[in-house]
Amino acid sequence: MIKPEMKTALFLKPSRLKQRWSPLELIHISKGAKGIETAKDLLDQDTLTRYFPGWTSTFRETVLSLGDEALTAKVAELTRTHAKQKAGTSLTQYVNRSFMRHTHQVLEQLWMTLCTEKIYHQVVNPATGNHLTTTCQLFPGQPVLNFLVHRDNTTGLSLEARLLLNDQQYTLTEFEQQLFFLQRDGTFYLLRFADYQTLQWLAANDPAVYAMDPVGFSEQVLARLTSDGYAIETSAMDDIETISVEPVHAIYLSEISNAFLLLTPRWNYDGFWVEGPWVHSERVNRNGKLYDIQRSREKETGFVDRLQALHPLFAKQLNGVFHLNFAEAKKKHWFLKVYHQLLTDNVELLGMAFLRHFRYAPYPVETAVNVLEKNDAAIILEMKVTCGAEEIRLLELQKLLLAGQKSLLLKDHSIVVLTEEWLHAYSTLVKHGRVAERKLTVPPWIFLAAEDRLNTAVRPLPQIWLEKWQRWQSTEEKLYSLPETVQAQLRPYQQKGFEWLCLLHEIGAGGCLADDMGLGKTLQTISFLARLKQNAPDRPAMIVCPASLVHNWRIEMEKFAPSLRPFVYHESTRSLEDYWAPGKQPGVLITSYGTLRADDAKLQAIEWEAVVLDESHSIKNPAAQITRAVYQLRAKAKVALSGTPVMNNSIDLFAQLQFLLPGMMGTLEFFRKEYAVPIDRDQDEEKISALQKLTAPFLLRRTKQQVASDLPPKTEMLRWCEMGTEQKAFYDETLSQVRDSIFLNIKNEGLGKSKLSILQGMQRLRQICAAPQLLPEASGIPSVKISALMEELREPLRQKKVLVFSQFKGVLHQLAHQCKQQGIAYYHFDGETPAAKRMEMVEAFQATDNQVNVFLISLKAGNTGLTLTAAEYVFLVDPWWNTAVQQQAVDRAYRIGQTKNVFAYQMICKDSIEEKIVELQQRKRSLSDALVGDDDGLMRALTEEDLRYLFS
């Protein structure tokens, strides 16, 4: 009988670590008559001594410390340590982390020697799917983890983990990873433990959350990796912006050798100055951002040729820079003539103030201003500026000021430098006005912005009004009484806001009320509209708002000023004939931006007493169709409401002010060059200050911190949402089916036995209100609530801490998906999230330096036991009618330790079962009391008549 051949080796199985067992076993391989057979054995002293006699005792002991028996003892030791230390983490987390660290340390001690041993592992036969035992190798070194940032125009930024091995880069996805083991083509690699933890962190904090948010990607992902010492290739994030515009020609004047006047051509490409021989492009770093300036060969060479033709001596000066001696420059007034010719050709002249050979004028600049004509839209001034006997042309002066110059050349070749006092008093008027000879046409409201700076006796605004304006700014005196038709008492800051709107209206100016969300912009506006209606009862007024807010306005108006007779002009209620009902005074027409865009001709034909734009950042794009439609509206009073009038850049503000104060900011191109580019790109403090002073009288913003003493500690409101066409059609179809089924059950079995079918029917309708996609047959129908909420999270509340509660996990998953797509970082837990994990997220959310602002929580999983006082806004996407549950959810933010005002919003779909329940709560106190209990309480309180109303 042939004795079977047998050999013993080590067997590597990393997956055993997940059960806290050793990744190493012994494998016995025998070859006999039946073929090759294998058997596993555990690591113990006898087997290691028997089968590996060549090992040193020290190495053998180290291997034994990695055996199942030793690791089991290690787990018991860690459990005792956790109990003694009262560690802040859970027992499972503490033991797992410490166990993995210990095992990795042992493996690091063994690794180099194990690399010389014959080791087996198990693979899957790709042909049969069976497991095969075969040899493998251990890589003697450790791979170096590093990262590469990718950018895609569609999906945004992404992070690729890479490994450096033998000076060659591989992607992590080329390896199979099990904990800190990597395997590729039969070779195993041991990650550093810190690298293993980093990859765990990345798996738990998906960088894709910040795919569309480069700042968040840098601060929340790359900053952490960089601080840990990782090499990161970030060239894809350089975010180079190409500047491809027509250049503005300029000449820089200077003196050389105290004998020559030097003319150096320069070009202004959208605020970037270039000079010297033409090159295709220039790379510029401005405030940490790269710009690629595309230079125009045709424009630059054409301008140089024009300069070369200005003087015969320039013909031989071929290096692109031109010079003349002082005497030649003054001969036959050459310099003076060229100076005026260049200004006429819109060439900017730089460096005048630094010329020394050309003397300064001995006379001060004198300015005389008189009002020639006044109307609602403009004031025409006569403005005469002189220096000695010479009058300075207004158009020339305007061009110099727009070019940022403060000096000009007189006929006697002397230079005038405009003083800071003169600029302070007149530059705003000259730059913003339309010039024709001595006439300067400016918007009337500019005098309010420049009133404290005008160094003249010109006061186009009525003195009585100016005195009232001063009192409004400096005293608590009430200037206007609240109309008796307003059924509310305004808080002091709300009274101020109401009076501010009244004051601006008296001089024909519009204003943007930009208070924080929840401070009562709606009530202040309703009070203002009530005053207008009191003074002009036959005049119409209109409110334009997002579709989701149309009914909010109607309800708030009916609550605070029903005499305004709110009229919804939207979708099926679009009837101007009904609005102009015979024998009735026109009320306040409420419409959406979409309806205005569709019916612009009809609404532009009406002369409105007032037009209010709610969420006025909806017209932030001056070129958009809706913005152009808004500009054509005719109104005596104009109001914009927005908690965030500037979302992206200064152009957002221009678009809204152009509606409120037409012409005040000049043309879009003027505003962009004068303010937007210097402010948004260059952070020019002088321009920021100038724009703030110019807009301050017409932009009123109060934060919750400023008026906290006037606020209740908690504000709860309904946020009305109007379903889109598809969602509403599906809701109505389902409502019909549910109603028929419920009342058939009631007829056959009675109300008491129909409780389950009633709850199921209500649940189905509530799911459609929250998100139709929760139902398989409606997976493609969008949700108005998710759309409205994402709009809030994306812009107005981007920097605020927000809690979002929903009873439906599917809603939270959809919101999480939307947040991920739009680069909004979030936390999310529901009933399936372990308690320890919940608390980790809560602690992180509460941390003062935490930048994750959105917390998605299931209503019942998060309604008790949590402190989330970092939040100041709470949204109940689909509140259940058990108000106690709702209140407990809101009170996660509103509890001891909260230092901010809490604003809670219930999102309710208009014309749905949700609205009916709200109305029933208000009509029947007994029902409201029942809702404080459980769902059975609701069923006991509902009558058949109530049910017919709910499902009507």
Q: Is the pLDDT of residue 934 over 50?
A: no
Rounded mean pLDDT, 85-91: 66
Q: Which helix (H) or strand (E) element contains residue 907?
A: strand 902-909
Alpha-carbon span 734 to 912, nearest angstrom: 11
At residue 716, φ and ψ (nearest 5 deg) are -115, 130
**Cα dist from 17 to 9, 48, 61, 118, 730, whole Å:** 19, 21, 20, 21, 52
Residue 80: which pLDDT band, with cuts at 50, 70 and 90? confident
* Residue 172 and residue 203 in contact, taking contact as beta carbons nearer than 8 Å: no
pLDDT on residue 459: 67
pLDDT on residue 455: 44
The tokens for 752 are: 């008491």
pLDDT on residue 388: 85
Q: Determine how β-strand 511-513 pairs with β-strand 699-700.
A: parallel
Alpha-carbon span 825 to 157, nearest angstrom: 14
Residue 937: which pLDDT band, with cuts at 50, 70 and 90? very low
The mean-pLDDT minimum among 287-296, 570-579, 702-711, 873-882 falls in 702-711
Q: Is the pLDDT of residue 548 over 90?
A: no
**Cα dist from 544 to 591, 627, 639, 739, whole Å:** 5, 12, 10, 36
The mean-pLDDT minimum among 171-175, 399-403, 572-576 falls in 572-576
The tokens for 378 are: 């403009």
For 754-809, the DSSP string reads GHHHHHHHHHHHHHHHH-GGGSGGGTT---HHHHHHHHHHHTTTTTS-EEEEES-H
Alpha-carbon span 17 to 103, nearest angstrom: 9
The mean-pLDDT minimum among 35-39, 56-60, 765-769 falls in 35-39
Q: Which residue bears the tokens 């010389």?
A: 116
Residue 287: which pLDDT band, with cuts at 50, 70 and 90? low
The tokens for 1 are: 């009988």
pLDDT on residue 826: 93
Q: Is the pLDDT of residue 180 over 90?
A: yes
Alpha-carbon span 637 to 690, nearest angstrom: 26
Rounded mean pLDDT, 785-798: 86
Average pLDDT, the chain: 84
The tokens for 886 are: 């709702």
* Residue 32 and residue 4 in contact, taking contact as beta carbons nearer than 8 Å: yes
Which tens digits make up the pLDDT trace of 579-594?
A: 888 778 889 999 999 9
Rounded mean pLDDT, 662-686: 85
Task: Report the side by side order of strands in the sheet with 588-592.
Answer: 567-568, 588-592, 541-545, 607-614, 634-641, 511-513, 699-700
247 DSSP 8-state letter: P
Q: Which residue bears the tokens 């970082």?
A: 825
Rounded mean pLDDT, 898-919: 84
CA 665, 668, 671: angle at the middle one, nearest 5?
Answer: 55
Most confident of the ranges 167-176, 214-223, 638-647, 923-932: 167-176
The mean-pLDDT minimum among 138-147, 181-190, 915-924 falls in 915-924
Q: Is the pLDDT of residue 86 over 70?
A: no
Residue 240: which pLDDT band, with cuts at 50, 70 and 90? low
Q: Is the pLDDT of residue 606 over 90?
A: yes
Task: Report the side by side order of strands in the sheet with 902-909.
Answer: 714-721, 902-909, 873-876, 802-806, 854-858, 826-829
Question: Long-range pairs for 576-584 at CB < 8 Å and ≥24 separation?
Answer: 576/602, 579/540
The CATH number given to 714-950 is 3.40.50.300
**Cα dist from 336 to 30, 229, 355, 410, 417, whole Å:** 106, 63, 14, 8, 16
The mean-pLDDT minimum among 46-55, 174-183, 212-221, 850-859 falls in 212-221
* Residue 618 and residue 593 in contact, taking contact as beta carbons nearer than 8 Å: yes
The tokens for 96 are: 């797992």
Q: Is the pLDDT of residue 709 over 70?
A: no
pLDDT on residue 221: 82
At residue 907, φ and ψ (nearest 5 deg) are -90, 115
Of 239, 223, 256, nearest in space to 325 by CA: 256
pLDDT on residue 926: 41
Pick 529 or 402 by higher pLDDT. Answer: 529
Pick 39 or 895 by higher pLDDT. Answer: 39
pLDDT on residue 404: 81
Rounded mean pLDDT, 437-458: 72
The mean-pLDDT minimum among 278-287, 490-499, 600-609 falls in 278-287
pLDDT on residue 830: 83
Domain topology for 484-710: Rossmann fold (3.40.50)
The mean-pLDDT minimum among 110-124, 377-391, 837-851, 926-940 falls in 926-940
Residue 227: which pLDDT band, with cuts at 50, 70 and 90? low
Q: Is the pLDDT of residue 933 over 50?
A: no
Q: Is the pLDDT of residue 533 over 80?
A: yes
pLDDT on residue 513: 94
Most confident of the ranges 399-408, 653-662, 868-877, 893-902: 653-662
Alpha-carbon span 452 to 232, nearest angstrom: 54
The mean-pLDDT minimum among 275-289, 322-336, 526-540 falls in 275-289
Most confident of the ranges 219-233, 461-475, 520-534, 785-799: 520-534
pLDDT on residue 33: 67
Rounded mean pLDDT, 687-710: 80
Pick 643 or 656 by higher pLDDT. Answer: 656
Q: Determine how β-strand 260-269 pairs with β-strand 322-325.
A: antiparallel
pLDDT on residue 718: 86
